[in-house]
Amino acid sequence: MIDHPHFLPMSRREAESLGIDRFDVILVSGDAYVDHPSFGAAIIGRVLWDAGYTTGVIAQPDWRSDADFTGLGRPRLFFSVSSGAVDSMVNHYTARLRRRSGDAYSPGGALKRPDRAVIVYANRLRALFPGTPIVLGGIEASLRRFAHYDYWSDSVRQSILADAPGDLLVFGMGERQVTAIAARLANGEGIQEIRDVPGTVMKLDLARWRSMPHEGFVVLPSYTEVAGDRKAFARAFALHAREQDPFRGRPVAQVQRKIVVVQNPPAKPLSTAELDRIYELPYRRLAHPSYREPVPALETVQFSVTSHRGCFGCCSFCAIAHHQGRIIQSRSIESIVREVERMTGMPEFRGTVQDVGGPTANMFGARCRRWCGEGACRERTCGAECPSLQLDHARQIELLRRLRQIPGVRHVFIGSGIRHDLVLADQAPYLAEICRYHVSGHLKVAPEHISPAVTRLMHKPGIEVFEEFRRRFQEESEKIGREQYILPYFLSGHPGCRISDMVDLAEYIRDRRLYTEQVQDFTPTPMTASTCMYCTGIDPFSGEPVHVPRGREKRIQRALLQYRDRRNRSLVMEGLRQAGRSDLIGSAWTCLVPGDGGCGSPRKSGEESHS
């Protein structure tokens, strides 16, 4: 092992000061380098350093010139290329395909990465450093590893390995994969010989693929088939989704135009000890000192802690199961306590732990006996109704109590979303505990919709579960005499949702006087079941046809979710008329918008109070 540097080096000068004349690995990222475990370059770089590989960072290189790419020289082992924490197209464009004006992952919020960053960076590196292995990773590469629907070009694109000159692609959380690749390259293997690392995708030329036996592979319909046939696309999605398990998953192959991509099974989950070690590496929790302006994304996570990885929620619009997996991997309470104790020693720490969680805060400690042997069930999803699922809110309560007792900690908040159905399914007094100590005025909960037809396609619990949760939350808040509220997240424009469903949702919001600033309009991001439905009009798992709102209908749906906004009035009226609900146009308090001639407020006094 070699000593960790204060920050991972970003310049020759820093490298020289550490006695490095050539890095083992260079990470190229679309994000600014922030030395915090929520940022991919920091975590992968620290893990590589921990394994004994000197690692430098090229953050947000100017892709229009060579200088930034050549600044650290040629690495001894490989370049790792990532778009950053978010897919570059999601980062750049809104659901309505409007260009965003800022980038939270850049100093000062500046726009500093190209569209399709992985392809652009990899092309630059290949031209400048022919012969040096390039490994693609991060969310953009991970979720574009097979032929996929690309909302921004409204087309089916090939695997990113066919478009970018990468030698290997790492999918999922990449610690195991990058250290295995580094070790094998350091031992003298060529990148083309590394074919069997779990959690990687390789590419083969067509002749080689045709000459080898295909037994044991799940062969998806080819790129050409899925690009031209909706049913083939949906079938490919379902076939692929079923193999996303580190224990029972089989290799998956798909022919592209000129190559074949072959995915090994996902990497095995990390043990508690391994996760603890990764999160206790000496991150500074600060942006690299060369930056003159703050990186906005750091502000919201600087003093937040990751307690676990994975989510078994399997919401259709979320790709977490294809990236982190369904199996929950939790850290030890002792390790999280040590991490927070270290935070309290930072001059920037003001006593507030912003978040303790993972993709879903209250899955910490959840277990199933199948998860670490046979793998998660292929044909059913995990949930509160499964008797084998062991929820462990008691352990999370213990964790939160231990964190509250640390000298210097005044507040411990839960900023991650929570699965309200799991809270109700467990006897532990979790809700009382978080209401009393861990809600900073509001609690984020995501029922997403009220219509059973829509929540079924989203794979979310029905609205009655949210209602029960809301009732219990209010009860607990009243018990402690505190005014706090639920911030519900609702989604418009999801496949299966019709204008009439959105009218029902708008009435629900009106009747319960919910505050709905957090409006989400469905964006078809790569590799989700919902995106497959959007692209094909088919539910990939049942084969049933699905209504897909697009264009003006999608805009009307969004407007209905924000019917209080006067700018949406004409769209809301159009939607109400289409749904045969003109009774909701007028001056009665039940109306969502005033009539054509009206200029009065449709609101009942006090309507916008919080839930």
Q: Please give the residue ranges that form the binding site for ligand SF4 (CB under 6 A).
A: 311, 313-315, 318, 320, 359-360, 368, 370, 376-377, 380, 382, 386, 388-389, 417, 419
284 Cβ contact list (under 8 Å, min separation 6): 6, 7, 35, 36
Minimum CB–partner distance for residue 449 and ligand SF4 (Å): 13
What distance in Å separates the CA atoms of residue 577 and residue 319, rounded to the nearest whole number? 35
Minimum CB–partner distance for residue 514 and ligand SF4 (Å): 19
What distance in Å separates the CA atoms of residue 469 and residue 471, rounded to the nearest whole number? 5
Minimum CB–partner distance for residue 117 and ligand SF4 (Å): 23
Minimum CB–partner distance for residue 115 and ligand SF4 (Å): 25
Minimum CB–partner distance for residue 37 and ligand SF4 (Å): 18
- Do the Cβ atoms of 23 and 73 come closer than 8 Å? yes
| CB closer to ligand SF4, 445 vs 571 | 445
| CB closer to ligand SF4, 176 vs 322 | 322
| CB closer to ligand SF4, 374 vs 583 | 374
| CB closer to ligand SF4, 160 vs 376 | 376
Minimum CB–partner distance for residue 241 and ligand SF4 (Å): 13
SS3 content of the chain, % helix, strand, coil (to 5): 35, 15, 50
Smallest Cα–Cα separation from 39: which of 371, 242, 321, 304? 304
- Do the Cβ atoms of 31 and 59 come closer than 8 Å? yes
Minimum CB–partner distance for residue 245 and ligand SF4 (Å): 9
| CB closer to ligand SF4, 388 vs 542 | 388
What distance in Å separates the CA atoms of residue 357 and residue 466, rounded to the nearest whole number? 21
User: Any idea how long the chain is?
Assistant: 611
| CB closer to ligand SF4, 177 vs 360 | 360
What distance in Å separates the CA atoms of residue 99 and residue 498, rounded to the nearest whole number? 27
Minimum CB–partner distance for residue 58 and ligand SF4 (Å): 30
- Do the Cβ atoms of 485 and 515 come closer than 8 Å? yes
Q: What is the DSSP string of 402-423?
A: HHHTSTT--EE---S-B-HHHH
Smallest Cα–Cα separation from 297: which of 30, 38, 521? 38
Minimum CB–partner distance for residue 322 and ligand SF4 (Å): 10
- Do the Cβ atoms of 394 and 367 come closer than 8 Å? no
Minimum CB–partner distance for residue 338 and ligand SF4 (Å): 26
- Cα separation of the two ends of the chain: 53
What distance in Å separates the CA atoms of residue 89 and residue 150, rounded to the nearest whole number? 9
| CB closer to ligand SF4, 182 vs 389 | 389
Minimum CB–partner distance for residue 362 and ligand SF4 (Å): 10
- Do the Cβ atoms of 151 and 523 come closer than 8 Å? yes
Minimum CB–partner distance for residue 389 and ligand SF4 (Å): 4
**CA dihedral angle for residue 582, residue 587, residue 590, residue 595, rounded to 10 degrees:** 30
Minimum CB–partner distance for residue 555 and ligand SF4 (Å): 24
| CB closer to ligand SF4, 251 vs 359 | 359
| CB closer to ligand SF4, 221 vs 358 | 358
| CB closer to ligand SF4, 319 vs 573 | 319
Minimum CB–partner distance for residue 228 and ligand SF4 (Å): 30
| CB closer to ligand SF4, 10 vs 321 | 321
Minimum CB–partner distance for residue 318 and ligand SF4 (Å): 3
What distance in Å separates the CA atoms of residue 271 and residue 198, rounded to the nearest whole number? 16
For the chain, the C-alpha Rg in angstroms (whole number) is 25
| CB closer to ligand SF4, 258 vs 378 | 378
Beta strands 304-306 and 355-357, pairing class: parallel
| CB closer to ligand SF4, 388 vs 590 | 388
| CB closer to ligand SF4, 253 vs 311 | 311
| CB closer to ligand SF4, 261 vs 361 | 361
Minimum CB–partner distance for residue 173 and ligand SF4 (Å): 14
| CB closer to ligand SF4, 342 vs 370 | 370
- Classify 597 in phi/psi space as left (phi over 0), alpha (psi -120 to 50) or beta: alpha
Long-range contacts of 290-293 (CB under 8 A, 24+ apart): 290/10, 290/11, 291/32, 291/107, 292/107, 292/108, 293/107, 293/108, 293/110
What distance in Å separates the CA atoms of residue 126 and residue 165, rounded to the nearest whole number? 7
Burial label for 448, CB within 10 Å (0-12, 13-18, 19+), is: buried
- Do the Cβ atoms of 428 and 393 come closer than 8 Å? yes
Bridge partners for 56 per DSSP = 26
215 Cβ contact list (under 8 Å, min separation 6): none
Q: What is the DSSP string of 170-216?
A: E-SS-HHHHHHHHHHHHTT--GGG----TTEEEEEEHHHHHHS--TT
